[in-house]
Amino acid sequence: MGYYNNVFDQCNDQTDIGRVLRDGREVILQAYNWESHKHDWWRNLDGKVPDIAKSGFTSAWLPPPSQSLAPEGYLPQDLYSLNSAYGSEHLLKSLLHKMKQYKVRAMADIVINHRVGTTRGHGGMYNRYDGLSLPWDEHAVTSCTGGLGNRSTGDNFNGVPNVDHTQQFVRKDIIGWLRWLRNTVGFQDFRFDFARGYSANYVKEYIGAAKPLFSVGECWDSCKYNGHGLDYNQDSHRQRIINWIDSTGQISAAFDFTTKGILQEAVKGQYWRLCDAQGKPPGVMGWWPSRAVTFLDNHDTGSTQAHWPFPSHHIMEGYAYILTHPGIPSVFYDHFYDWGSSFHDQIVKLIDIRRRQDIHSRSTIRILKAESNLYAAIIGEKLCMKLGDGSWCPSGRDWTLATSGHRYAVWHK
């Protein structure tokens, strides 16, 4: 599945939306959690930029920058107001400037599936945006969520007006705002929130117009479960994510929710799950690794929301897997900064090994063992790793232990 379009091979570094995907050497930090708005966040992150850079992260995903009805940022109202619960516009811009100095790209969380209105319109709903910088009326809101627009091109996000992306005036305004974030405010990467809510064709149009250096979409729906737990075969789940990536014109990556769902069961003594019927990794990573952003938890699945948390006693096994494997690994703020220096330092060590052994999103992988209490694989030609309690080490004299921890070990040549 790792094909991509040669239209990428044409432009310069700052507007070349394919270069980062082609290079495949990203490591992302999700630089917040669900409670961050309570903690003077832009100022807090400002002090951590040197460590984020030194640790080897290429991009830091920040919470939604715009004014929002809910402090976490996911009920946006005035898109052009950058004074939010995370801090002032001034503090945000100063943070972005510092990140640029340290060569860490800033990823904006783009929440454009829905928008909270200011005044009542059609049907007595808050579906007008009078008095804001983008003063849309009810035609900007889908008919399924109380507006006068067309039907949604995706799933509904309930309880708030959903934006009708079929309207040309809406798309023109969104593109103007995205270009402003990219070219004036100083964000370089985009993360598309609730990407199931509108057609991926629009994501393709928005990326093409605003030219972020890297984009990733959140296509989160449920894995396949049976009476006894998680199904071994999650091909239909990963295929839905692959279809979304394809519909963006292959220019966006997507979070690998399939790998997360499988990995958090595998670490409980079911490592056989980490090898599919074809002998490949069982998530999006196994089919289209250059577009798969792997992760253990985020502000929804973990943090204080804990909708679908990774088992906390197995966090380092999880990172030993995603940081040594193909795909584009992402580390969660809590694990890196809130769980103590041991976790921080083990993760930094794994990122360092990844870089030194030149593991990238398209690295080859040979799975050697996938049993209940043991998983082992060779990635690239110069890195080997194992997970679980089963005793195992690579054959041959030229392997040296690079690092090890609770239920994981990594060797290099």
Active-site residue set? 193, 218
Give the count of beta carbons closer than 10 Å to the beta carbon of residue 229: 10
CA-to-CA separations, 199 to 69, 246, 400, in angstroms, rounded: 25, 12, 48
Report angle CA 37, 38, 42 to the nearest 5 degrees: 50
Q: Tokens standing for 191?
A: 């993360």
Q: Label residues 282-314 b or e (16+ Cβ within 10 Å = b).
A: bbbbbbbbbbbbbbbbbbbbbbeeeebebeeeb
Give the count of beta carbons closer than 10 Å to the beta carbon of residue 22: 14
Print the SS3 string covering 191-239. Answer: EECCHHHCCHHHHHHHHHHHCCCEEEECCCCCCCEECCEECCCCHHHHH
Cα dihedral 179, 182, 186, 191, rounded to 10, equals 130
Report angle CA 38, 39, 44 to the nearest 5 degrees: 155
CA-to-CA separations, 7 to 10, 19, 35, 251, 272, in angstroms, rounded: 6, 11, 41, 10, 39
Q: Tokens standing for 68?
A: 């929002």
Nearest CA among 143, 139, 141, 138 for reference residue 120: 138
Helix 341-356 and helix 315-322, axial crossing angle in degrees, nearest 10: 20
Give the distance from CA 387 to its chain's centroid: 24
Helix 41-54 and helix 89-101, axial crossing angle in degrees, nearest 10: 10
Rounded Cα distance, 25 and 245, in Å: 19
Nearest CA among 327, 360, 339, 337 for reference residue 406: 339
How does DSSP assign 19-42, residue by residue?
HHHHH----EEE---TTGGGS-HH
The phi and psi torsions of 64 (rounded to 5 degrees) equal -55, 130
Contacts of 379 (CB under 8 A, 6+ apart): 324, 325, 326, 357, 359, 363, 364, 365, 385
